Amino acid sequence: MKTKKILLIVLAVSFSVLSFSRTEEKKEVTKEYDKTAQVNKQTTLEIHNKYGKIDVKNWEKNEVQIHVTVKVTGNKIKDAQSYFDRTHIVFKDSVGLVYAKTTIDKEKSFFNWFEQIEKGSFEVNYEIFAPVYIKLNLHNKYGDIFLNEVHGYTQIFLKYGSLNANNLFFPAEKPLSTINIKYGNATIDNGRKLVLNTKYSNIEIQKVTALIAISKYCNYKIRTVSFAVCDSKYDNYKIANIKSLKFTGAYETLKIDTLSFGLNLDMDYGSATVLHLLSTTKSVAVESDYTNIKLNVSRKMSFTLDGNFDYTDFSSPYGFSTFWTKIDDQQTKTKGFCGQKDAESHFSFDCDYGDVKIKNFD
Predicted confidence (pLDDT) per residue in 21-39, tens digit: 445 566 788 999 999 999 9
pLDDT at 111 over 50: yes
Alpha-carbon span 15 to 18, nearest angstrom: 5
pLDDT at 114 over 90: no
Alpha-carbon span 165 to 146, nearest angstrom: 6
Q: Does the bond joining 175 to the residue before it have cis omega, within 30 degrees of 0? A: yes
Q: Given pLDDT bands bounded at 50, 70 and 90, which one contains residue 75?
A: low
Exposure string of 144-170, with b = 16+ CB inside 10 Å and e = fewer, is bbbbeebbbbbbbbbbbbbbbbbbbbb
pLDDT at 20 over 50: no
SS3 labels along 317-362: CCCEEEEEEEEECCEEEEEEEECCCCCCCEEEEEEEEEEEEEEECC
Among 349, 333, 217, residue whose Cα is nearest residue 289: 349
Under DSSP, is residue 290 helix (H, G, I), strand (E, B) or coil? strand
Predicted confidence (pLDDT) per residue in 298-354, tens digit: 988 999 999 999 999 998 887 788 877 787 877 889 999 999 998 999 999 999 999
Residues in contact with 112: Cβ distance below 8 Å, sequence separation at least 6, in sequence order: none
Of 1-5, 120-124, 289-293, the range with the lowest mean pLDDT is 1-5
Predicted confidence (pLDDT) per residue in 208-250, tens digit: 999 999 999 999 999 999 999 999 999 999 999 999 999 999 9
SS3 labels along 133-184: CCEEEEEEECCCEEEEEECCCEEEEEECCEEEEEEECCCCCCCCCEEEEECC
Mean pLDDT, residues 112-125: 69
Beta bridge partners of 270: none
Among 137, 143, 146, 179, residue whose Cα is nearest residue 159: 143
Per DSSP, 271 falls in state: E
Under DSSP, is residue 286 helix (H, G, I), strand (E, B) or coil? strand
